[in-house]
Amino acid sequence: MTDNKLHEDKAFENVDYSEKGLSKREFFNCKFTKCNFSKSDLSNNDFTDCVFSDCNLSLAIFNNSGLKNVKFENCKIVGVDFGTCNSFLFSANFQNCHLDYSSFFQRKMKSANFINCSLKDVDFAEADLSKVIFNNCDLQNAAFNRTVLEKTDFRTARNYSFDPEANKIKKAKFSFSGLSGLLSKFDIEIE
């Protein structure tokens, strides 16, 4: 990548930035395709209206980075702490992504979409996930604690398990088959 501080309407393809640092840059309406950012330090950058497609961002660091209306498609994003991102206008959507072992601790993500994603062992504690849609997502061992889940759609999600009394779930949507994940704390058998 060039040393410019502002990148607007640019396409980056097959860039290998793994294990390198990239900071204090602004990306507006940029597209990243088949780029490798694994173990990269992407701290203090701003990404606005950007799309990451077929990228590897596993273990990338986003300390104080802005993600504003960013889309991740077909990406590997394992072990990323989104809780360290800049909270101002934070907005991200994920489709066909592997987000296992990532964290959205205390992140406000109202109306975000997770479509066909693997979210195993993801930390959603104290996050605001109001109106979020988990469409065909695997939430095995995902942590929900003091999480706002009002009007959140779990109807096609699977393997979730959390305590309804430890979260705000008013008007959340569940399928009948997913109700066992809400009753697991009672150690009962459902047939």
> Which pLDDT band holds residue 175 (cuts at 50, 70, 90)?
confident
Name the nearest CA neighbour of 154 among 183, 131, 175, 185. 175
Q: Indicate the pLDDT class of residue 37, thresholds 50, 70 and 90.
A: very high
Residues 6+ away with beta carbon under 8 Å from 48: 26, 27, 28, 29, 66, 68, 69, 70
Q: Say how far apart CA 152 and CA 165 lie, in whole Å.
A: 16
Check if the beta carbon of residue 24 is closer than 8 Å to that of residue 45: yes
- Its pTM stands at 0.91
pLDDT in tens, 102-148: 999 999 999 999 999 999 999 999 999 999 999 999 999 999 999 99
Q: How far is CA 99 from CA 40, 52, 138, in A?
A: 16, 14, 10
HSE (side-chain half, CA atoms, 13 Å) at 30: 20
> What φ, ψ does residue 51 adopt, rounded to 5°?
-130, 130
**Domains and their CATH numbers in the chain:** 1-79 (2.160.20.80), 103-191 (2.160.20.80)
